[in-house]
Amino acid sequence: MKNKYLFTSESVTEGHPDKVCDQISDAILDEIFKSDPSGRVACETMVTTGLALVAGEVTTSCYVDIPKVVRRTIREIGYTSAHYGFDYLTCGVMTSIQGQSPDIALGVDTGGAGDQGMMFGYATDETKELMPMPITLAHALSRRLAHIRKEKEVNYLRPDGKSQVTVEYHDGEPKRVEAVVISAHHDHKALMSDIQHDMMELVIKKIIPSPLMDKNTKIFINPTGRFEVGGPQGDTGVTGRKIIVDTYGGVGSHGGGCFSGKDPTKVDRSASYMARYVAKNIVAAGIAKKCEVQVAYAIGISEPVSIMINTFGTGKISEEKIVKLVRENFDLTPGGIIEKLKLRRPIYKQTAAYGHFGRNEEGFTWEEIDKADDLKKAAK
């Protein structure tokens, strides 16, 4: 008797209000890193109808024209007309930036962690990206939705949008897609019949492999009937409010800290990237089919206070031995993480939409599996 269950993950496009904020915060971080790779940045953004507010703590030797960065980012996302309820030319931009707390700097200056907390990384062999299938498919749908808008394959789409995928598992293995949801932001002239046809033909069928869909797969396209009011006009956006979209779609655990707008001395970001790197290399080495890594830090202390490995019963060696391998093969201090993953570069804006993990693209150093062979040999 197979153990069957359903698991659902969602994704959002770059025009979703929370993702607008993530991209603005990371664009500011990138702009600082272009001139000052040692800058300290903790940048938060909020957007609503006609307004973008940037606040936070920044310590840097360079000058950044923040309103210019904000407007450029909004333009690149696609909010280029007042008809969208939000546009880069006419929105107000407010800033409230101060220096980093000297108390925090005391610990960070000596190579310690920028905060306490626990961070998680995860990997699974169920997709070639070593990511859970539901979030992988959901991100692919959102990217496809944005692609057909930017390439003008249809003329009615606007920047906001969401996707959701439910996968049926048998004994822990993905077998079929149970449900797909697409919510596409559109102008007032668009007909629902056109939207439903185009989303099915140009998005869903292009992304979801046909063997995974059957006559029982449920398709929901703009379930409320209309999605004319979207983006910051429809919902207030805030940096760091899509942490499950950013990571593994709800699979595994999450320490609670967001990524965007934070320089890599903040272990919320850098240690989460390193935990993914560790977990992915463990799975790539064949040591386990699934792996979750937890690391925890104390503010101002460089070495993690704990390391935990969970292979969910799929490990070929004990979890205690895997922890020993991790300690021997990975430098988990903030300084070691930053150096190994080359994190003092302007690489962050591209991470701020469509997930921080499972992307084999330039700059995503934490997705490399260069340690897999070493781990495989050591495990023997």
Number of H-type helices and E-type strands within the chain:
12, 11
Q: For position 75, what pLDDT does the model report?
A: 98
Average pLDDT over residues 146-162: 97
pLDDT digits 0-9 by tens, 80-108: 998 898 999 999 999 999 987 777 666 67
Give the pair of three-digit tokens for residue 273. Answer: 């990237």
Q: In what order do the strands lie in the sheet with 290-297?
A: 117-124, 290-297, 306-310
Q: For position 167, what pLDDT does the model report?
A: 98
Would strands 157-170 and 117-124 be described as parallel, antiparallel, or unpaired? unpaired
Prediction pTM value: 0.95
Give the pair of three-digit tokens for residue 357. Answer: 């993990």
Rama region for 85: left / alpha / beta (φ>0; ψ in -120 to 50; rest): left
Would you say residue 52 has pLDDT above 90? yes
Alpha helices in the chain (DSSP H): 17-35, 66-77, 102-108, 133-150, 192-198, 205-207, 231-234, 243-246, 267-284, 319-329, 334-341, 372-379
Average pLDDT over residues 12-40: 97
Q: Helix, strand, or coil here: 250?
A: coil
pLDDT digits 0-9 by tens, 298-356: 988 899 999 999 999 999 999 999 999 999 999 999 999 999 999 999 999 999 999 99
Q: In what order do the strands lie in the sheet with 4-12?
A: 4-12, 157-170, 173-186, 218-221
Give the pair of three-digit tokens for residue 102. Answer: 């000297």
**Alpha carbons 272 and 365: distance in angstroms, whole number:** 13
Enter the DSSP assignment of 352: G
Q: Are 139 and 203 in contact (CB under 8 A)?
A: no
